[in-house]
Structures are given as C-alpha cells and as structure tokens.
C-alpha cells in the first residue's frame, strides 16, 4: 500500500474497560510489542482496576493510563457540550446508536453513560492525535469506541475473546459493533467462526485471527525437568465458568484413593468461600491450597515447581495460562472446548477431557501424577515448541500493526454520516442480529 504510514507516524490508543488487570497481562504484552515496532500507544481505560495490581510493571502501566471515570463532572460536561454544539447531527446519530444499544441490552441508562464516556474519549483522541482505537473484549469499552466513532472520532477495531461476547451477542449489539468497525479480531479459529455468526457475509473479510502472545520472559525462562514432587497447579478466577468446584471434587476422589498430591489454586473471586467450604467438607486442607492472586514472577515459579497445569473450564476463549504453562515446558490438563484444542492435544502437549466430567478430570490428574519424568518432559517440550510457533507476541503484534496501517487514512475522523447507521443499511452495514 503506497501511502501506508510508518508505525512511528501512526498513533494508536488502546481502550479497555479496566487496565491494567491481573488477568489481562496479554494486553500489556501486546501494547509493549507494538511500541517496540515503533507505534506510539496511548492507554485509555474506562475505570481503574477493581483489584489492586501487584506487578511492578503493571503499577507503571497504571500510572501511564488515563481513566475516563477519573474525569471531573466539569470535564464531562465540557466534552458533552462540545460534541453537541460543534457536530449536532453526529451527536444525535450517536444518541440514537446509544438508544439502540440500550434497547437490546435492557440497560438504557448504562448505554447513555457510554455516550458520555465516548465524548471524553473523543476529546482525548483529538488532543493526542489518535488515528485508531483498539479495544479488547466486545463489551462496554467497544461500545464506547463505537459511539466515539459515530461522534466523528477515530476508526476503531476490537479483539473478541469469549465466552461473554458469544453468550449474549444480541444484548451486546455485537453485530453493530462489527459493522461499524474497521476489523474485528478473534483469538482463535473457533473465535473467528463465532464472529462469522454475527457478521454479514460481505463483511467476513473484516474478521481476522490474531492470537494472544507471550514474550521473552516466558520463552527465555530457563527450562527445568518436571519435579518428582506430586504438585499440580490451577490458575484462574474463582468463578463458575472456570470449573473450580469440579476441581475440588476431583481432588477429593484422588485423596479417597490414597493418592498423595499438592494442588495450588492461584486466583480469587466470588466462589472462594464455597471452595473453602468444600475443602473443609472433604478434609482436603493438606492437599489443596487457595493461594490468591500472584505476580507474574510468582506464577512462573509455581509453574516451574509443578508437574502440570489444570484448567477445568466450562467456557473460555483460549486461556493464556495454558500458553504460559506450555512455554515453560509443563503439560496442561484442560477441557475440549472453544479454542483450547487448537493449542493442546491429548498425548502430545497434555490431556484434553470433556468439560464438566469429574471422573475424566480425576483420571487425567492421576495420569499426570503417575507419569514418568521423561513422559512429562516430552509433552512439555512439544508444547513449548507449539506455543513458540503460534503465540509469540512479536509475531502477533506485527499482524495487528499491518491491520492498523492498512486501514489508515490521512484523517481518521472522517465519519460524516448524518443518519443513524441502523436506519440506512448498506451491503457493508447490514445487521445479522434480529431487529
């Protein structure tokens, strides 16, 4: 493309609901990789992290991030007034789009708040000379980016991870967000297939695959042999979709068989009291430890000291923790759902089991505990090679960079429609969601 700008001349903003986040290190890695390619990246976030960040690197990221909800009432009022007075037709287009989102979500007030937030983001983008906004997750931050675009702000794109976007695509207005975007990214082939479901066929070329990636802190981590100690590790939010109660039930079955093991669960969430109660009921205190959130370095240490990672999820996109474990040479036990089979293969990099099966989970854990050091080492080596091939953040960031630059124009704020996009469908802007 002859007029494609160089990365240093093309300013991108990342807009995320909460940044940085304990479970969103992949976003930080992606931003850093793009900056290494020369892109100036501004960090915008709707709100501050709900859980205090623990990594020093995330502390620095928080300091570099601008938060919409930190804005004063006067700042929001000025942004709103400016959008209304300078471009009234665009403002009313955006208002109608916000109402469209509100009707589908059943949360009209929230959608109107997104419009207020969009006016702030638009002012920031103008001040920072942003030419493109990229969001992670097709939820509220992407709604804000969509409304910002309708107001006349920069073009935008977003990465969809799942499962939330695929659980309620109509409520999220996913089809409209895709229709008004420059492109949309799935993190796996499975994710791309689900996006196709909510994208009109003429817009299918918009749907891309850019995988979450790891950096040198994992690829260059000194490889060690699996420990002889019977240690297992699980990482994830203590939430129903992660399947942690089944993990406790599987641990109880192993303990009942007289199998000795240590299971550490890293993470926190609403299910913690339930899990603690289950651990007490099954008398598993000597076997299972709820460790809470840990820093990236601490997680690497725990992976290094464990034989395998266990991920019994019911719903996922493609868990980054699985990539991290394999990159360090540790096999993974996980469920055969979503994008996970694209990374883990039974007998090759670990064990895949049916989601929701306690029996299958306990059997796989038993195999991991009784496997020889050579078998675990071979599984880990194969997995490490696969992750390096498919999930190097530098390679994936180059894909994003090409997409950003391929959609560049001299003026990113050229959205001049004076009618609601939902009212004037074109072959490239039709909705697949029921109206």
| pTM, entire model | 0.89
Half-sphere exposure of 15 (CA within 13 A, CB side): 34
302 vs 113: CA distance, rounded Å: 42
pLDDT of 435 > 60? The answer is: no
Q: Who contacts 114 (Cβ-Cβ below 8 Å, separation ≥6)?
A: 98, 101, 140, 143, 144, 147
Q: Who contacts 169 (Cβ-Cβ below 8 Å, separation ≥6)?
A: 175, 197, 198, 433
Q: Find, among 49, 56, 14, the residue nearest to 31 by Cα.
A: 14
pLDDT of 1 > 50? The answer is: no
**Predicted pLDDT of residue 4:** 64
pLDDT, mean over the chain: 91
pLDDT tens digit string along 85-112?
Answer: 999 999 999 999 999 999 999 999 999 9
The first and second tokens of residue 113, run together, are 């708040």
Edge-to-edge order in the sheet of strand 183-186: 65-67, 41-47, 12-18, 132-136, 155-160, 183-186, 207-209
Mean pLDDT confidence for 292-303: 92
**Predicted pLDDT of residue 7:** 77
φ, ψ dihedrals at 165, nearest 5°: -65, -35
**Predicted pLDDT of residue 296:** 87
Mean pLDDT confidence for 39-45: 97
pLDDT tens digit string along 157-182?
Answer: 999 999 999 999 999 999 999 999 99
**Predicted pLDDT of residue 21:** 86
Burial class, 340, CB count within 10 angstroms (exposed 0-12 / middle 13-18 / buried 19+): buried
**Predicted pLDDT of residue 431:** 32
pLDDT tens digit string along 327-337?
Answer: 999 999 999 99
Q: Find, among 327, 129, 73, 365, the residue nearest to 218 by Cα.
A: 327
* Omega before 163 within 30 of 0, i.e. cis: yes
The percent of residues above 70 in pLDDT, for the chain, comes to 92
Residue 418 in 3-state DSSP?
A: coil
The first and second tokens of residue 245, run together, are 């109660």
**Predicted pLDDT of residue 55:** 83
pLDDT tens digit string along 378-407?
Answer: 999 999 999 999 999 999 999 999 999 888
164 vs 395: CA distance, rounded Å: 27
**Predicted pLDDT of residue 414:** 44
DSSP letters for 307-360: SEEEE--SS-S--HHHHHHHHTT--EEEES-TTGGGT--BTTTEEEE-TT-HHH
Identify the structural domains of the chain with CATH numbers, from first to last: 7-213+392-406 (3.40.50.2000), 217-390 (3.40.50.2000)
């Amino acid at each position: 493309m002859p007029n494609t700008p160089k990365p240093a001349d093309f300013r991108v903003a990342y807009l995320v609901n909460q940044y940085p986040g304990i479970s969103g290190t992949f976003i930080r890695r992606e931003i850093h990789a793009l900056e290494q390619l020369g892109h100036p990246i501004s960090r915008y976030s709707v709100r501050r992290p709900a859980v205090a960040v623990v990594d020093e690197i995330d502390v620095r990221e928080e300091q570099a991030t601008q938060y919409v909800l930190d804005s004063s009432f006067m700042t929001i009022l000025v942004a709103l007034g400016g959008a209304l007075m300078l471009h009234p037709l665009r403002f009313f287009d955006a208002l109608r789009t916000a109402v469209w989102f509100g009707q589908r979500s059943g949360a009209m007030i929230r959608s109107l708040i997104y419009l207020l937030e969009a006016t702030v983001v638009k002012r920031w983008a103008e001040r920072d000379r942003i030419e493109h906004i990229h969001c992670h997750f097709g939820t509220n931050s992407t709604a804000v980016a969509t409304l910002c675009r309708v107001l006349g702000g920069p073009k935008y794109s977003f990465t969809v991870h799942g499962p939330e976007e695929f659980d309620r695509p109509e409520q999220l207005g996913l089809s409209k967000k895709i229709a008004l975007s420059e492109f949309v990214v799935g993190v796996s082939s499975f994710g791309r297939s689900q996006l196709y479901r909510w994208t009109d066929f003429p817009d299918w070329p918009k749907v891309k695959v850019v995988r979450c990636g790891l950096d040198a802190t994992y690829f260059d981590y000194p490889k060690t042999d699996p420990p002889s100690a019977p240690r297992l590790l699980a990482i994830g939010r203590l939430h129903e979709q992660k399947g942690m109660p089944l993990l406790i039930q599987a641990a109880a079955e192993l303990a009942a068989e007289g199998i000795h093991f240590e299971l550490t669960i890293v993470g926190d969430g609403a299910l913690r009291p339930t899990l603690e109660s289950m651990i007490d009921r099954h008398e598993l205190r000597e076997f299972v430890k709820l460790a809470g959130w840990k820093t990236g370095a601490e997680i690497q240490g725990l992976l290094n000291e464990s034989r395998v990672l266990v991920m019994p999820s019911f719903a996922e996109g493609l868990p980054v923790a699985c990539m991290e474990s394999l990159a360090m040479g540790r096999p993974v036990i996980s469920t055969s759902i979503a994008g996970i089979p694209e990374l883990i293969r039974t007998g090759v990099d670990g064990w895949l089991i049916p989601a929701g099966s306690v029996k299958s989970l306990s059997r796989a854990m038993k195999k991991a505990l009784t496997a020889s050091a050579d078998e675990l080492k071979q599984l880990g080596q194969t997995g490490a090679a696969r992750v390096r091939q498919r999930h190097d953040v530098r390679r994936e960031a180059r894909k994003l960079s090409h997409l950003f630059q391929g959609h560049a124009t001299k003026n990113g704020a050229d959205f001049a429609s004076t009618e609601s996009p939902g009212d004037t469908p074109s072959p490239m802007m039709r909705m697949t969601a029921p109206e």
